[in-house]
């Protein structure tokens, strides 16, 4: 049988499981918000631990507690930073109250953990209180957005590392496949020749832009409103606290955090999260495009393009023997689409703040951190389980180049436009390859043709000067 302890708040008394680190406010939140059916993102919980530690150290300097109590509170905060208290922050990711339930869940857990460290019973809030001590000189309205920014900075750095690793893997493929000539396509129709290496290098360049955007947008998150309390006026917080608390948070996190010059504005507005989410959406769009391309390039293997082979990861069909599907690009595509959807939800939430506060920051936090988690994981599995194992089907590419009338464009510099056009038309009429048609017309030898469609030739910037005029 579960044992309980009695706790009370503004609305009255309530039973709380005797061994729970959370308290009455968390119990009410559990009852009120069965929405997402998942807890607050662990990155936010750990970042909240850092915020509470900064607040605790500042309050300790101001003489708010005796050394023993302060040490217990700070030790509890450090445990939360380390992830040791994740399981005790149990409120739903989506909640009313602008994040108050998350803040109070954190306060209750830290207070009760400090009580444990002091050897006192859980719920003995006369000794350490969730509100009087853990929330001293604070509001949800300055701690929650600050914790979200701290969490986002950390996850952005994780994402940046994965994006860099992915682009470097594509760069390795660029070097490996530099000699493999293939037919380039526009609007899914044959265009001109290029190399698989250059195609892979283009993907690397796209992710290089993502890396730069991710790196730069971090600075948008490093300005915080901690110390502004309820609406940015710093009500109920001493000036010394307001001027010191962000310094402590900067030391704890190692991030270049600074206090917003206009704390009222920083409390009112959440547009910085829209900006960051837009950067994530751009990365998602590249992931979706590249994943779609890889599926096309590997299509077949017999009746599709089949220019590359993706590493087989899973038997593909319950009815079609031997089928292997491009499951990694498909999974990554779904992650990318989810990020785009989260961006829309986040944008709506940030737009609907009223006057001095945005009440919808829980949705903003859930959408932003989930997007960061998805993109980080997606870049990782695309690199490890797909791109690293891509192989070129050189024979397939060679046959396609020799047979495709698109290769006729590579001949223009040597034989002229009209002659190249006649070669392409004859190849279509006779069923010959373009290579054979050019040789049959006596316009090019096999060696000359192969030289014109070689990787270094088709990837030369521009056409050679002095090409043969139309006969």
User: Which residue(s) pair with 436 in the sheet?
Assistant: none
Nearby residues of 353 by Cβ (< 8 Å), 6 or more positions away:
268, 269, 270, 359, 360
Which active-site residues does the annotation give? 317
Task: With beta carbons less than 8 A apart as the criterion, state whether 381 and 313 touch.
Answer: no
**Residue 313 has which token pair?**
């990861």
CA triple 38-42-43, angle to 5 deg? 135
By DSSP bridging, strand 181-186 and strand 189-195 are: antiparallel
Token pair, residue 268, equals: 């009112």
For residue 383, give the nearest of 164, 196, 178, 208 by alpha carbon. Answer: 164
Calpha distance 470→264 (Å, rounded): 73
Please state, as a whole number, how many other Cβ atoms lie within 10 Å of the Cβ of residue 330: 13
E strand or H helix at 452: helix 446-452
How far is it, in rounded angstroms, from Cα 351 to Cα 271?
A: 8
What is the spatial distance between Cα 98 and Cα 191, in angstroms, rounded to a whole number? 54
Distance CA 123, CA 314 (A): 52
CA neighbor of 249 nearest in space, from 140, 150, 108, 142: 150
What are 360's two structure tokens?
């919808």
Burial class of 322 by CB neighbour count within 10 A (0 to 12, 13 to 18, 19+) = exposed
Quick check: helix, strand or coil at residue 216? helix
* Strand locations in 245-321 (E): 258-259, 308-309
Tell me which residue has tokens 């000067």. 465
Going by C-alpha positions, the residue among 103, 100, 56 that lies closest to residue 75 is: 56
Q: Spell out the residues 6+ positions from residue 239 whose beta carbon is closer than 8 angstroms to its own.
A: none
Per the document, the length of the chain is 471
């Amino acid at each position: 049988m579960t044992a309980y302890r009695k706790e009370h708040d503004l609305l009255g008394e309530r039973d709380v499981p005797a061994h729970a680190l959370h308290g009455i406010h968390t119990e009410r939140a559990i009852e009120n918000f069965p929405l997402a059916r998942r807890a607050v993102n662990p990155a936010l919980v750990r970042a909240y631990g850092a915020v509470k530690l900064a607040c605790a150290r500042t309050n300790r300097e101001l003489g708010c507690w005796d050394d023993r109590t302060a040490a217990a509170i700070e030790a509890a905060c450090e445990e939360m930073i380390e992830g040791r208290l994740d399981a005790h922050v149990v409120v739903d990711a989506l909640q009313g109250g602008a994040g108050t339930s998350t803040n109070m869940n954190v306060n209750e857990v830290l207070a009760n953990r400090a009580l444990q460290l002091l050897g006192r019973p859980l719920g003995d809030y006369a000794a350490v209180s969730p509100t009087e001590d853990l929330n001293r000189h604070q509001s949800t309205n300055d701690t929650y957005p600050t914790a979200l920014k701290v969490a986002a900075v950390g996850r952005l750095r994780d994402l940046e590392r994965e994006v860099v690793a992915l682009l470097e893997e594509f760069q390795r493929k660029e070097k490996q496949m530099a000699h493999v000539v293939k037919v380039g396509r526009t609007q899914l129709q044959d265009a001109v020749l290029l190399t698989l290496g250059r195609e892979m290098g283009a993907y690397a360049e796209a992710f290089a832009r993502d890396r730069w955007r991710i790196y730069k947008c971090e600075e948008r998150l490093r300005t915080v409103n901690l110390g502004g309390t309820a609406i940015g006026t710093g009500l109920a917080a001493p000036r010394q606290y307001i001027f010191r608390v962000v310094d402590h948070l900067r030391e704890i996190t190692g991030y270049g955090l600074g206090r917003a010059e206009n704390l009222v504005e920083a409390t009112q507005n959440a547009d910085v999260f829209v900006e960051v989410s837009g950067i994530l959406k751009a990365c998602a769009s590249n992931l979706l495009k590249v994943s779609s391309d890889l599926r096309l390039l590997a299509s077949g293997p017999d009746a599709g393009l089949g220019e590359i082979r993706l590493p087989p990861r899973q038997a593909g069909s319950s009815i079609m023997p031997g089928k292997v599907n491009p499951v990694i690009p498909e999974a990554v595509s779904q992650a990318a689409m989810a990020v785009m959807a989260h961006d829309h939800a986040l944008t709506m939430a940030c737009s609907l703040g009223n006057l001095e506060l945005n009440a919808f920051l829980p949705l903003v936090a859930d959408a932003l951190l989930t997007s960061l988690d998805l993109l980080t994981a997606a870049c990782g599995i695309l690199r490890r389980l797909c791109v690293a194992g891509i192989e070129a089907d050189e024979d397939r590419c060679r046959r396609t180049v020799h047979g495709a009338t698109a290769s006729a464009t590579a001949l223009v510099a040597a034989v002229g436009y009209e002659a190249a056009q006649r070669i392409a038309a004859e190849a279509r009429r006779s069923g010959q390859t373009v290579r054979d048609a050019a040789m049959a017309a006596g316009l090019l030898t096999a060696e000359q043709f192969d030289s014109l469609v070689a990787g270094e030739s088709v990837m030369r910037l521009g056409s050679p000067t002095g090409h043969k005029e139309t006969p």
